[in-house]
Amino acid sequence: MSEIALIGKKIGMTREFYKSGQLVPVTVLKMEKARVIQVIDQEKRGYKAVQLGYGKIKSSKLTKAMKGFFAKKNTEAKKKLKEYRVLNTDNYKEGNEFGLEIFKDVKFVDTRSRTIGKGFAGAMKRHNFGGLRATHGVSISHRSHGSTGQRQDPGKVFKGKKMAGHMGDKLRTMQNIEIIKTDLENDLLYLKGSIPGSKNSEILVKGAVKNINKLTIDEKIKAAEQAKKTPEKKKK
């Protein structure tokens, strides 16, 4: 089930305490259940995949084509549709719903979300430039980025030059984020640290792609306790 993903709403941040007294900042996500809209076979399109639907939407906001599509599938309309390639389609049937239980044996996840938009920002805020001198002939342009080009050759500003411009409001992926706690009753997912995005923004959560040998906080605490119990060998 790590092939598919869930979409959650960012509620905010809080903190969790362990028995050892360690404090961990966490981001709380309200997860939505995903429904299987259609299963794509190898024979039809040349690959195996499953299409999932997320969220609710009024029928008045749907086009005639989408109304017909959901009516044909005999399911309620969904706000978002996403397709995932899978190795085996036998585990998925149209109408099935998946929730937080797909992360039961998962320790780390990847998230994809949109960062907070900052509008038009200068070079000092956007790229951490130092700015020009405070005095000695510098007037008005204290926070400017300075020179952006060379001479007649090449006679242009290269693409990708760090300058003032639109900041934030971009899709960003965070990898290998630890799952601190899951609340199946309230569909809440607690992830370690901060996740890009404003409150109530949509966060896509999927099982970690990279296979890493990383210890969770619980495992680290247990390892430390075990190390205390084992007596150290006396040096001769």
pLDDT tens digit sequence for 209-223? 987 788 888 888 888
Is residue 235 scored above 60 in pLDDT?
no
Is residue 121 scored above 70 in pLDDT?
yes
Q: What is the pLDDT of residue 89?
A: 87
Q: What is the pLDDT of residues 139-185, one digit of tens each?
A: 999 999 999 988 899 999 999 999 999 999 999 999 999 999 999 99
Q: What is the pLDDT of residue 204?
A: 95
Structural domain contains residue 235: no
3-state helix, strand, coil in the chain (%, to 5): 15, 35, 45
Q: What is the pLDDT of residue 68?
A: 94
Is residue 19 scored above 90 in pLDDT?
no
CA torsion through residues 63, 67, 72, 74, sign: positive
Q: Are 131 and 176 contained in the same domain? A: no
Q: What is the pLDDT of residue 172?
A: 96
- Burial class, 188, CB count within 10 angstroms (exposed 0-12 / middle 13-18 / buried 19+): middle
The percentage of the chain sitting over the pLDDT mark of 90, rounded to a whole number, equals: 69
Q: Which residues constitute the domain of residue 136? A: 118-146+162-167
**C-beta atoms surrounding 73 within 10 Å:** 18
Q: Are 122 and 187 contained in the same domain? A: no
Domains in the chain: how many in total? Answer: 3
Structural domain contains residue 213: yes
Entry pTM: 0.86
Q: Are 51 and 129 contained in the same domain? A: no
- Across all residues in the chain, what is the average pLDDT? 91
Q: Are 15 and 39 contained in the same domain? A: no
| Pick from 24-28, 29-33, 72-76, 119-123: least confident | 72-76
C-alpha separations of 48 from 39, 51, 82, 213, 221 in Å: 8, 10, 14, 30, 42
